[in-house]
Amino acid sequence: MLDKTTRINYLFDFYQALLTPKQRSYMEMYYLEDYSLGEISELSQVSRQAVYDNIKRTESMLDSYEKKLHLYEKFEQRTNLLEKIEQSLAEDKSSIELIRMINQLKELD
């Protein structure tokens, strides 16, 4: 479960600007502030089922945006490459290797 939650949190980070205020609010309460569906339902004065449906629909939207724009996937690839570059610098590797990785970074966009 943790992996899925981490993934949703990242997707929310990348795509929250494309959500409605209500979607953002439910997602924040559920995923960031760890409220239960029952608590969100009470606070928002809508049924538990409506909150659940909204959150599930929002998760699908986030997945669909990721399938189209791959922002999270590219972020992971970039982070990975940047860490390798830092390691190469720390180990004082040749700049040829660094330039190769910098070019890989450029091609990611």
CA distances from 51 to 2, 64, 69 (A): 21, 20, 27
The yes or no reply on residue 6 touching its own copies (CB under 8 A) is: no
- Could you tell me the smallest distance in angstroms from the CB atom of residue 29 to its own copies? 22
Within 78-107, the residues that bind its own copies by CB under 8 A are 78-79, 82, 85-86, 89, 92, 95, 98-99, 102, 105-106
Q: Compare residues 46 and 98 and give the one whose CB is closer to its own copies.
A: 98
Burial 78-90 (b: 16+ CB within 10 A, else e): eeeeeeebeebee
Q: Closest Cα to residue 103, out of 84, 76, 87, 91?
A: 84
Q: Minimal distance in Å, beta carbon 85 to its own copies? A: 6
Residues that bind its own copies (CB under 8 A): 15, 17-18, 65, 68-69, 71, 75, 78-79, 82, 85-86, 89, 92, 95, 98-99, 102, 105-106, 109
